[in-house]
Chains A and B, each alone.
Chain A
């Protein structure tokens, strides 16, 4: 891990991803999805795209910042609720509401970061966990504002400069465009000098500090960016679903984001994308398979046990996640060809 991180700190990457032909093929395949499938499959992909944005934020803070945050769902919810409340109750345009959500969530993350980022390791994770629970209680209890446990109804559809997104197809293209822009942005960010410093901080905070790097500040900035991405994703989610309730933004969802980031791979910006795909596909498969093997009502519990086990196995045998594994495979293929 350290060696790899060291290599990552020193490697220089071009603005265009190394595997661009592969990516191009995948992108073309993806573009075809809504043309050949109905609103069900397209809808699944829209949700995946939305999750990818928040999971990429998670990859940034966990993989590059080296902090396990357990409040991604709370930031996700803040974005969703800001968009929802402003558009449903105050007739603000969805785009403005989305930006307001980003500003609010970024601001709250900045404050939270100021207070907590000097904590280390588990303590920091616990602080974010507590924050996530506080946000959830706020959403439940401030029913005048948030609709309380009944949820927030009547969120209008998203419109962009007068164009209303009504069909799943339109949503699909918007969401995946946003997801790829986010991934590219994060990619270029972690390859910039800022990103290299962040990675150095992760590899060894003491060494970085000795070199005169303000360790706290870099983590703080990564934390804010990750929260902003969650907020963006949450706003899109609110407009897509048109109904949100506090239950969606609970601790369990935060854990799901951790799972997606870890399974996908923490040492790659593509980790979030891969994690979301793997988790979604596995969930669908498990739901088909488990009822055949066990009783129907045990499906939910079995799924949780499976994902918990998967997380442990991934950590032991594939700490780089799927993205790391794929990278290795790619290198091996290339080496084989060159030899």
Chain B
């Protein structure tokens, strides 16, 4: 092989690298930039050190950045009220680049180098799964913001692991009840080809079956796909009464656009994963009439005054908009809840005068009627998630805004 062809081959490799750039960012070992939101004292004695591993860059950064902002806001609010048991919270955030390997490396940095009391994160199911064995071994409490039910199940193997997003089972139940109210029984299911879509598919199929709802088609697409018309065309030919989508933006928004372009007239229902502001932004006018089973952050002002969550939701939306000049979403609400749960557990431990990782874990298992943004949390040794199906509401897009579905 001569010199010229060598250069050409390597150049083609270089082009391939830039190709790979379109698919997302490759991660290497390591963890990310750290940011400290801390009390004035930097020392360890006067504060509770907690950590977070989130998707600040990479393909899930649509979630990670608002989640980081929400956690920082929660910590600042708690510190402004004098902290917990007289000590302030010190939050350390690392980026995992939406990469599973980096997620573990970042968690190790928090646990072994920063010696935090507990870790919030990661923000998605695949980036949370590698942390679980490590946190179990090191005995450090982990509160995930990932949606997959397997994060907290089976509970006997998840002694140190908790999560705040609603279980897929609760979201599925909420969707199924809505379908029954609307008199629909023939649906199609389409999901993203990753841990999130996979886990949603399994759960939804089980709950739909138990409630007499027939799934006429189950299609999949890749998280980075740009066109889902082939799958939707197949679904259209089967004439379902509703199409259920388990995906996150931007792919979730593309499904909505394609659905609209194909002039499909069935109901289009999304799981909570689409609950980022980017969803409507990307789907544009195609989103009109689309449903989502989600938390209540978007509709805080439409809730009846009798709703126990109304107060905290209104306060959150106001504070978030003031601080970050942008709209909050249910996705960052889950991260805010994780900070609330952790603060509650540290508070319980501080009352007993013994704030250790083990005491915080015990506290996390003993949360009673904590009103959060995603729902009202009641945890126990056999329930490390603590929400009910009622905490999930159905919303619909009307004039480009989310409203409570009728």
Chain A positions near chain B (C-beta within 8 angstroms): 1-2, 38-41, 43-44, 47-48, 51, 66, 68, 70, 121-122, 125, 129, 140, 143, 148-151, 153, 166, 168, 202-205, 241-243, 245, 247-248, 250-253, 255-256, 258-259, 262, 279-280, 283-284, 287-288, 291, 296-297, 299-301, 303-305, 307-308, 311-312, 315, 319
Contacts and interface: CB of A to CB of B under 8 A. Distances in A.
A190 B122 CA distance: 44
A309 B28 CA distance: 17
Nearest to A143: B198
A121 B5 contact: yes
A110 B114 CA distance: 47
B112 A150 contact: no
A121 B57 CA distance: 35
A283 B268 CA distance: 42
Contacts of A245: 100, 126, 129, 195
Interface of B: 1-3, 5-14, 16-18, 20-21, 23-26, 28-33, 56-58, 61, 65, 95, 97, 100-101, 104-105, 108-109, 111-113, 125-126, 129-130, 132-133, 137, 148, 150, 193-195, 197-199
Given A1-B3, A308-B17, 5 more contacts: A149-B197, A243-B130, A258-B17, A259-B17, A311-B17
B-side interface mostly: helix
Given A1-B6, A40-B109, A311 B13 contact: yes
A248 B193 contact: no
A22 B375 CA distance: 61
A38 B105 CA distance: 12
A269 B327 CA distance: 54
Nearest to B134: A242
Nearest to B22: A304
A143 B109 CA distance: 32
Nearest to B128: A243
B100 A66 contact: no
A279 B17 CA distance: 14
B100 A248 contact: yes
A41 B106 CA distance: 10
21 contacts: A38-B112, A40-B108, A41-B113, A66-B6, A149-B194, A149-B195, A150-B150, A150-B199, A204-B2, A251-B20, A255-B20, A258-B16, A280-B30, A287-B33, A296-B65, A300-B58, A301-B21, A301-B25, A304-B18, A308-B21, A315-B14
Contact of B126 (A41, A151, A253): A151
A300 B9 contact: no
Contacts of B2: 2, 204
Contacts of B97: 300
A252 B23 contact: yes
Contacts of A151: 126, 129, 195
A146 to B, nearest CB: 11
A283 B199 CA distance: 32
B130 A38 contact: no
Contacts of B24: 252, 300
B113 to A, nearest CB: 5
Given A248-B100, A307-B17, A256 B26 contact: yes
A39 B31 CA distance: 13
Given A150-B199, A296-B56, A311-B13, A304 B26 contact: yes
